[in-house]
């Protein structure tokens, strides 16, 4: 059984102040009337319609102004949502309007009905997104949402040893060069000087052989007669 009532407060999905709506008799009797959200539609109560309309206009004006200010403020924010991911960076589950509303409350102490956060599809990948907000029938806004992973990315283990090996090879080669340079400084100067002093023959010319010194004449034999007599033995 249905009954006609006049709403005295705004009820989402039903209507605003001064609206005349038809609802179930039990719903009106057990909820709307005790909570003073509606009154029965009678001739006496119709006189209150003007007051209710005035109240509704004031409420809607206040909501419009506050939602306009909220839209300006939210446009400057970046709402961070952290999610769990696998090693490949893929998310477990998705980011929903309810999660964004919770993070707004937690991070910025902004209370926003999740129904005002308009997501065409749940967010299923990491990154930055512009989320549309339907704050009022005449006010829309946007919110930047950054979805990050709470799972640290694995360190590139394969690349590290290869890089270390390469660096070690560079050091070994540098040390070898240093040792060669040191040996050259210690043992090579005389050889280097000799090489510089020795003229190099031009191409096609044979190097002149150094002249051999003439063989010294053999010392003449002293004649026996000229040799001194042996000393006589003492008698």
Q: Whole-prediction pTM value?
A: 0.55
Angle between helices 159-187 and 189-197 (to 10 degrees): 60
Of 95, 115, 149, the domain-final residue: 149
Q: What is the CATH number of the domain that holds 94?
A: 3.10.430.100
Domain that holds residue 126: 72-149
> Does residue 10 belong to any structural domain of this protein?
yes
Cα separations (Å) of 28 from 6, 15, 55, 110, 154?
Answer: 10, 14, 22, 33, 60
Q: Is residue 17 part of a domain?
A: yes
H helix or E strand, kind and range, residue 81: strand 78-83
Over residues 28-53, mean pLDDT: 91
138 in a structural domain? yes
CATH number at residue 20: 3.40.5.10
- Tokens matching residue 152: 């640290």
Q: What is the pLDDT of residues 91-147, one digit of tens each?
A: 888 999 999 999 999 999 999 999 999 998 889 999 999 999 999 889 999 999 999
The string of pLDDT tens digits covering residues 198-235 is: 555 555 555 555 555 555 444 445 455 445 545 444 43
Residue 110 near residue 67 (C-beta atoms within 8 A): no
Bridge partners, residue 139, by sequence: 136
């Amino acid at each position: 059984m249905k009954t006609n009532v006049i709403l005295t407060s705004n009820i989402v999905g039903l209507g605003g102040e001064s609206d005349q709506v038809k609802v179930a008799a039990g719903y009106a009797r057990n909820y709307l009337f005790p909570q003073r959200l509606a009154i029965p539609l009678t001739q006496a109560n119709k006189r209150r319609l003007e007051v209710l309309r005035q109240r509704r206009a004031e409420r809607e004006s206040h909501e419009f102004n506050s939602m306009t200010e909220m839209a300006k403020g939210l446009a400057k924010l970046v709402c961070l949502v952290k999610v769990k991911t696998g090693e490949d960076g893929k998310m477990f589950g998705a980011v929903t309007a309810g999660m964004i509303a919770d993070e707004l409350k937690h991070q910025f102490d902004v209370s926003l009905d999740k129904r005002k956060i308009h997501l065409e599809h749940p967010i299923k990948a990491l990154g930055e997104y512009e989320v549309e907000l339907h704050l009022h029938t005449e006010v829309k806004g946007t919110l930047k949402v950054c979805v990050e992973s709470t799972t640290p990315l694995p360190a590139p283990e394969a690349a590290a040893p290869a890089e270390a090996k390469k660096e070690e090879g560079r050091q070994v080669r540098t040390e070898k060069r240093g040792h060669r340079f040191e040996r050259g400084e210690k043992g090579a100067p005389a050889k280097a000087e000799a090489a510089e002093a020795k003229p190099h023959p031009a191409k096609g010319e044979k190097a002149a052989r150094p002249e051999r010194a003439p063989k010294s004449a053999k010392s003449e034999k002293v004649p026996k007669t000229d040799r001194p007599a042996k000393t006589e033995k003492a008698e």
